[in-house]
Structure 1
Amino acid sequence: MKAEKLLSIILIGAASVSLLAGCGSNTSDTQADSEDAAQTESSDNTAQADEQESAEDNEDSSSGSGNVLVVYYSATGNTEEVANYIADTTGGDLFELEPVEPYTDDDLNWSDDNSRVSQEHEDESLRDVELVSTDVENWDSYDTVFIGYPIWWGIAAWPVDSFVENNDFTGKTVIPFCTSASSGIGDSGQLLEEMAGTGDWQEGERFRSGADEADVQEWVNGLGL
């Protein structure tokens, strides 16, 4: 009888040990599964963060570096059109030069000796055209500045003069461009360079009135900016 009781105790003890071992194994497996899941989730989060950062970088790249500024004065819209093409190609910002007293169609009639531009051409003292603003926000952040204008009597339209005179181009690459029906760019860029006294001025480019966007893009891409 005692032997049977002892055997029962031994069997119960063995079963308990086996059950505890099984529970311990299940606990370890559960912990391992949890750790694997946590590591997988962490890896997924890291991958998502990398993808988001890459997408943001690509977005910044596609919107331009932000260090190109396209400054322009446009009397009839032709120079503005080219300026927009340049800004689109470079991802640069635009800054329009606006006279406080805008030019009317009659003012721009160069064949009329009494028109505003004709009088300003004859009397240089009248060429000091006041602009709405010559101050560019974050001017120091721009490394490359395009300056566009129509050609008037073989030189840059004088509304751009006060902008050039009132800004420091030190450390900037300056690229002039112009529009005209027939005249070339001539010495207009060099004259503006002398007026500025600072900046690394490059050879400019002339575009005909109603220039093709493809022509502008080809020129800009050839600059290696």
Structure 2
Amino acid sequence: MIIISNVLVAYFSASGVTKNVAEKIANENGYDVFEIVPEEFYIVADLDYTNKDSRSTIEMNDKSFRPPIVETCDVSGYDTVVIGFPVWWYKAPAIINTFIESVDLSGKTIKAFYTSGGSGIDKCVSDLQATYSGLDFAKGTRFTRDVSKAKDWIEG
């Protein structure tokens, strides 16, 4: 990955919604982008939150589980790392922990955005802050199709 900005937008997307938003934010503002890709892709049945035996439910119920990712990236050249994800069970998906633990985010400003129809991000960010108390998480926000305020939020 060639660094062209001081902002990295890293994202995980199970259904494509977060991918579309993350790429739009990066493209419209000249930020670098990195997709957090699971070694095993999630299929629709994996994402069924009503099924206690679905893959995502099992992962979210095990606080120590870290789904393997295909690759990680070097974040050393970035001041700000924006992490995008869908909200699962009022939390960041477990794969976000995998990513955070695969890179050195110390000294970076970390901003989380989410794509969700109804859940908020405050619990997600407070959980991440509690788990990674040495990192600097800023207030998170929600984006849908309209990312016109992304630059102000990220750089402000």
The TM-score bracket by the shorter chain reads 0.7 to 0.9
Within 1, Cα distance between the matches of 2:24 and 2:6?
16
Alpha carbons 2:25, 2:150 under 8 Å: kept: no
- 1:125-180 per-position Cα deviation (integer Å, ceiling 9, x unaligned): 4x32111112x14x211111100111000000111111112222122111110111
Query: 1:193: how far off?
Result: 2.9
Query: 1:122: how far off?
Result: 3.2
Alpha carbons 1:150, 1:180 under 8 Å: kept: yes
User: Which among 75, 96, 104 is matched to residue 168 of structure 1?
Assistant: 104
Aligned to 2:8: 69
Bigger helix fraction: 1
Within 1, Cα distance between the matches of 2:53 and 2:24?
35
Q: Give 5+ residue unaligned stretches, structure 1.
A: 1-63
Report the aligned-residue RMSD.
Answer: 2.0
Alpha carbons 1:69, 1:93 under 8 Å: kept: yes
Alpha carbons 2:76, 2:104 under 8 Å: kept: no
Q: How many percent of aligned residue pairs carry the same amino acid?
A: 37
Paired amino acid for 1:202? A
- 1:175-200 per-position Cα deviation (integer Å, ceiling 9, x unaligned): 11011111111321222233334443
Aligned to 1:190: 126
Between Structure 1 and Structure 2, whose CA radius of gyration is higher?
1
Structure with larger RCO (C-alpha < 8 A, sep 6+) = 2
Using a 3 Å threshold, how does the CA distance of structure 1 residues 170 and 119 change in structure 2: closer, same or farther?
closer
Aligned to 1:157: 93
Q: TM-score of the superposition, structure 2-length normalised?
A: 0.87
Paired amino acid for 1:73? F
1:118 aligns with 2:51: no
